[in-house]
Amino acid sequence: MSAYESIKRAILHGEYPPKMRLTEEYLANEFNMSRTPVREALRKLESEGLIVSMKRGVTVRHFTKEDIEQIYDLRTLLEGYAAAQAAIHRQDKNLNEMREANLLYEEAITTYFKTGETTIEHILDINHSFHDAVIKASQNQHIHSHISKVVVVPLIFRSFYWFDEYQLRHSLDAHKTILKAIEQQDTERARAAMHEHIYHGRDQVIHHIKEIDYHYSSNN
């Protein structure tokens, strides 16, 4: 695993919690590698918004409750609009992509909890496939570029990382509701179902970010 992949994984899994200070020296020792790949990895992670530069070293990016609410409000508006437009403009190939993503999503959830032979990262990738299919179905080439600016990977990953089986299956049910509304060309139901789906993820992030902040502040 590269320096970039190792550090990113540690951040996403909460091994390096928000506000934690990291240095090239510490990371090089942690992963038993030279400082050059670590330095390059930190540049990339900063460009992705996972870390913030300091005078010496970096800190893991911290999101306040207000940050999270604002990010998810924007995402909800954009993806809700995309779902409504998808209900108007969807084609058979778009519906097939959504159906396939939901089938893979259900299989991955079952495998994850029964055998552990898949990962949360894989489940998250399939989730992205469903959302991307909805955006493509909207037939609006500008929506994706705007959504990509407000979809913050660490927040989405953490919401999935904290989901238990019931919550992941709740997410799958939300996908099915969104798909049904798009199939039936019910714009308002598609919009409302997407809103509810995204806000459910937001609530998980806010709840657990508070716990992490409390734990981190209590130990510093």
Other C-beta atoms closer than 10 Å to the C-beta of 125 total: 14
Name the strand (E) or helix (H) holding 179.
helix 165-183
Q: Which two tokens stand for residue 133?
A: 């299919």
Per-residue pLDDT of the chain (220 residues; tens, 9 = 90+): 889 989 988 887 778 888 899 999 999 999 999 999 999 999 999 887 788 998 888 999 888 888 889 889 999 999 999 999 999 999 999 999 999 999 999 999 999 999 988 888 899 899 999 999 999 999 998 998 888 777 766 667 667 777 889 999 999 999 999 999 999 999 999 999 999 999 998 888 888 776 655 454 555 5
pLDDT of residue 152: 67
SS (H, E, C) 122-133: HHHHHHHHHHHH
- CATH fold for the domain made of 65-218: Four Helix Bundle (Hemerythrin (Met), subunit A) (1.20.120)
CATH topology match: 3-60 vs 65-218: no
Question: Count of alpha carbons within 13 Å of 207, Cβ hemisphere only?
Answer: 11
Dihedral, CA atoms, 85, 86, 89, 91, nearest 10 degrees? 180
Contact 110, 68 (CB under 8 A): no
The CATH number of 3-60 is: 1.10.10.10
The predicted structure's pLDDT at residue 211: 60
Residue spans per domain, the chain: 3-60, 65-218
d(CA 2, CA 179): 38
Give the C-alpha separation, 143 to 206, whole Å.
26
